[in-house]
């Protein structure tokens, strides 16, 4: 979500006349888009700001802006710790950045603007996309959950859902510019449909499944992913839509957080391990080869060795293809930060290492099971050549796994954004390898765009949180995508 917000910030600035600086140039403007989930985000920001202080002294005309969740949380603290910052803006007013920069320059003093509520969906801002072949599309902003460890609801606000027609219009705008893969984003993506901003749209618990099926009708859209759902609200109709819509990828990120029902209750996670494992069973029954990933927190306040053993047991049974594991970090303003029985850091660290060891073993086993299977890969740019010695390139399979593949003589013709089919020959815990010959290579419009260093610039789409008269006219080409009960009408 932060990466996508950064695309909006880039689009907004380019629309205002700014030009992205080359890496080796001295930038006239540096914007930090911050996270506040873990404590190291705070440390990283203030460390980077300190690093820029001498540069700011040397070049008085240079501007520094700080936005995102940490800015929303800390507000005036940013300027107290780093008085050389020019602009501080929050999660709810990204669109104000160009005006704030102008005002700071004109008034020769720092500008701080932190709104308590969202002005408009970020989608009402232009976006300069990072990738020619893969795009992010938000279906909602905010979150209605009250997890005791999470600061996001207080920084992002209550959940507000975009109109289905607006979501589909943005997806189609990306596809029209060559994008092959779209990831639908929401803090609780499968709750989509219960908090529409448009007052004329009724609540619809099946809206997310409808949206997935509608994406299946967009010509040229080859892969659809989404993140992150919440186990408590994950319904069978979403599983059916995933299994029955060919371009929806067989991949699911399902946050576990803890395998102890007692800790889940303390976290205020409204599901228990039996329900969680039951969802995984249903997903695998419908999509036997689905890759399921997760989030796990180690050392939540009050976690005992018995609670941690329960987490290890669920991880063993769940067979996750990978897991994002975190040592609990108390965030000021959350209920968990003041809970008794905070787990000593050395205990958290030791448990964390045990969890990592278990998950690494599972990852390796599950990846080895894929040796000999065929994989369709969307070639990616972020890894480039895996090794100058092997000449491997990197692609992502439909189930989300990274595959380093040998291209040999065909390497020069294969671009990020192209699609290749190859056979898996070896495995490691976090990637697969394909050192055989390539069965096929398909050049794509996305590959053409990447070769030309051209990424999509998407125009504003949608309404300002239900305010009348601000939305686009319905688009016939996306209004006919097949959503039932009118749920996907613009």
196: which DSSP letter? B
d(CA 220, CA 215): 10
205: which DSSP letter? T
Beta-bridged to residue 134, according to DSSP, are 181
Report H helices in 216-268.
236-244, 261-267
Backbone angles phi, psi at 489, to 5 degrees: -70, 150
pLDDT value for 466? 44
Strand intervals (E) in 87-174? 87-89, 111-113, 127-128, 134-138, 140-141, 160-161
User: Using an 8 Å Cβ cutoff, are 330 and 410 in contact?
Assistant: no
Would you kindly state where each structural domain of the chain is located, as residue ranges? 1-113, 122-369, 373-452
Structure tokens at 114: 């932190």
pLDDT value for 155? 87
Structure tokens at 172: 């189609």
Question: What CATH architecture is 373-452?
Answer: Beta Barrel (2.40)
For residue 248, count other CB atoms closer than 10 A to its CB. Answer: 23
Q: Which residues are annotated as a binding site?
A: 143, 147, 150
Structure tokens at 367: 């990846």
Closest among 349, 346, 230, 337 to 298, alpha carbons compared: 349
Q: Please state, in angstroms and as integers, the Cα–Cα distance from residue 391 to each residue in 379, 388, 416, 432, 488, following that order.
A: 14, 5, 15, 15, 46
**What SS3 class is residue 442?**
strand
d(CA 197, CA 161): 6
Place of tokens 């029955």: 244
- Establish whether domains 122-369 and 373-452 are of one fold: no
User: Using an 8 Å Cβ cutoff, are 192 and 161 in contact?
Assistant: yes
Place of tokens 């996305």: 446
d(CA 268, CA 255): 14
User: Using an 8 Å Cβ cutoff, are 259 and 303 in contact?
Assistant: no
Class of domain 122-369: alpha beta
How many residues comprise the chain?
A: 490
Instruction: Give residue-wise pLDDT tens across range 77-103.
Output: 999 999 999 999 998 899 999 999 999
pLDDT value for 154? 84
The CATH topology of domain 1-113 is: Rossmann fold (3.40.50)
Q: Which residues are annotated as a binding site for [4Fe-4S] cluster?
A: 143, 147, 150
pLDDT value for 480? 31
d(CA 438, CA 172): 31
Burial 389-414 (b: 16+ CB within 10 A, else e): eeebbbbbbbbbbbbbbbbeeeeeeb
Residues 6+ apart with CB under 8 A from 107: none
Intervals of the chain under pLDDT 70: 24-25, 382-390, 410-411, 462-490
């Amino acid at each position: 979500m932060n990466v996508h917000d950064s695309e909006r910030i880039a689009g907004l600035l380019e629309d205002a006349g700014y030009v992205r600086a080359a890496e080796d140039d001295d930038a006239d403007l540096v914007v930090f888009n911050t996270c506040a989930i873990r404590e190291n985000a705070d440390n990283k920001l203030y460390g980077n700001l300190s690093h820029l202080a001498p540069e700011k002294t040397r070049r008085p005309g240079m501007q520094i802006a700080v936005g995102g969740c940490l800015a929303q949380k800390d507000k005036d603290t940013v300027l107290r710790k780093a008085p050389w910052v020019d602009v501080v803006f929050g999660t709810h007013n990204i669109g104000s950045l160009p005006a704030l920069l102008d005002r700071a320059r004109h008034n020769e003093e720092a500008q701080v603007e932190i709104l308590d509520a969202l002005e408009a969906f970020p989608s009402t801002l232009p976006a300069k996309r990072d990738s020619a072949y893969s795009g992010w599309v938000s279906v909602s902003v905010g979150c209605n959950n009250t997890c005791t460890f999470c600061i996001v609801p207080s920084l992002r606000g209550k959940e507000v859902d975009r109109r289905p027609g607006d979501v589909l219009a943005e997806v189609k705008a990306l596809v029209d510019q060559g994008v092959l893969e779209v990831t639908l984003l929401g803090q609780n993506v499968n709750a989509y449909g219960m908090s529409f901003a448009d007052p004329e749209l009724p609540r619809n618990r099946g809206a997310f499944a409808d949206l997935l099926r509608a994406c299946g009708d967009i010509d040229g859209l080859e892969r659809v992913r989404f993140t992150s759902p919440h186990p408590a609200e994950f319904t069978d109709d979403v599983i059916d839509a995933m299994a029955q819509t060919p371009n929806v990828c067989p991949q699911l990120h399902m946050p576990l957080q803890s395998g102890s029902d007692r800790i889940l209750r303390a976290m205020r996670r409204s599901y228990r391990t039996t329900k969680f494992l039951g969802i995984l069973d249903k997903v695998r029954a419908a999509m036997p080869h689905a890759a399921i990933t997760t989030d796990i927190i180690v050392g939540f306040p009050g976690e005992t060795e018995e609670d941690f053993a329960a987490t290890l047991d669920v991880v063993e049974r769940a067979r996750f293809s990978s897991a994002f594991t975190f040592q609990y970090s108390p965030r000021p303003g959350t209920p968990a930060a003041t809970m008794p029985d905070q787990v000593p850091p050395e205990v958290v660290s030791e448990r964390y290492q045990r969890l990592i060891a278990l998950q690494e073993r599972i990852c390796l086993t599950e990846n080895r099971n894929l040796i000999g299977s065929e994989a369709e890969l969307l070639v990616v740019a972020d890894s480039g050549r895996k090794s100058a010695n092997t000449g491997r390139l990197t692609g992502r399979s439909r189930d989300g796994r990274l595959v380093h593949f040998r291209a040999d003589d065909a390497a020069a013709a294969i671009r990020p954004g192209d699609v290749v089919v190859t056979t898996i020959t070896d495995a490691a815990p976090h990637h697969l390898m394909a050192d055989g010959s390539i069965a096929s290579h398909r050049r794509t419009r996305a590959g053409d765009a990447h070769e030309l260093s051209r990424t999509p610039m998407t125009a504003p789409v949608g309404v300002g949180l239900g305010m009348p008269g601000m939305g686009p006219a319905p688009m016939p080409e996306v209004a006919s995508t097949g959503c039932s009960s009118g749920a996907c009408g613009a």
